[in-house]
Structure 1
């Protein structure tokens, strides 16, 4: 007894021999190559050589659910358009449908892997992404959108100086949230810097300037308030015997070095003349 099988596209998968199992039950085994409806035809021949045929069908379904990923939580200003992204969701057969549901002045439902929505009201919104694979297996994941008004945001400011207290202009100041740089600025002539319109939260402020060691600090911004964080930058290896305050900044450092060299040459010249007199 043999069975011929065709896959969902109609292509023949071959002819398989059926073996006698328990009683009068015949069995066969094969590995499906795709999901969908398969057709088969069984042919049996009796001892006299008389054939008989019967046909049927069976369906191969995927029962493994996908893994939904609604993306990271977001904090935005009131009136901003948020871009959702569910493309990190996975399934062995792909994602057939993306549905996003949340409440913003009424229930909202939007579709697609990367839809957008404008939030005109402040607050925290729970957004639920539900995905389905081609077999209809579902999976869900939540993310949160925090919408803040402009008046609720704060600021960070401060001054960058060297060890003697002199302001350092032109230093690079970076503002980071969760190790991601979100803004940068350069200090002005008085060493000042400022970041305006900063959402409440905890940030890292990093300062860099050529000829100085970098500095960093954690700063927390409260709603509607300005956080102040000053920095003192140190030189990595000041010359032996020369105090930090004696080291000029910028071009003055080069001029000072030339003066030191000149003084050394003058002293050497005097020592040579004194030695000549002794001889």
Structure 2
């Protein structure tokens, strides 16, 4: 064999060896088809019933997807109006139902999805009445509710002491409607102290009750809303005595002097009115009425009967009045009557403790004995 042929055979052998080694050292990755990420799914949560002004908490944890961002639109009259994150919150300033929208977005692919829920905000307006008056309550924003149940709670500091108060006979009519009325409940009107430390005209005579309404909405959702009822008892204006005069004296022009003069008592009458300003249905009506009747009798026939008399008005204030014309004389008469009443009010002032003591001696024993009491202010 020639040398050149042998060299060619060796080269071919080397090439074959290299090819075999290269084939043995090469590996291959199997082909896997591309699978796009699942689109996001938004889950805003269940419908909610809340009270106006309460904090509403939302939860978007049920949403699925990758790289999610959360954007909320809370609907009308919400503070704040929008929110971000999985569990934001807001409050509502008005009653009614509104739609809340959650939008979730895949921040890598840009895909997004939305879901909604309904938030119903309800409210019961607070009320203020005088003892014995009727009062109405209505649940606002609960048009979708199907069942209503009203109730009340007494202030904890009052208790149920029969010696100084009464247990209110509270009846809701109707009891199962969105709007109800309470008539003649005869509420407690003041905490159980026969003579409270702040007794007197300036005292704050009121009690605050909690009124509740339990409602059932579609889907069996139950919710209880509450409000307050403030019950006042008049003190200064519970009753009063009014003393005045009606009618007018006779007047004429003097033919000699040409002056206008008062010539007679005419139709002047003394008017004494006692008024009870609490409703007849109030638990204090009989008590206040008896108290004011004592004052009425005192002025008519009793201790104060010598005050505000027609004879005094005529003799000392009217009969000597004169004026250049009729109109001026009528004005002078009006002023004279007003001045007389003012002077009598001042004159009787020193007698008031005695007059009031006598009235309280009559009204104090009348139940209930925890308001409109003498409480040592006019000792015997």
Provide the TM-score with structure 1 as the length reference: 0.35
More strand, by proportion = 1
Q: Which structure dedicates a bigger proportion of its chain to helix? A: 2
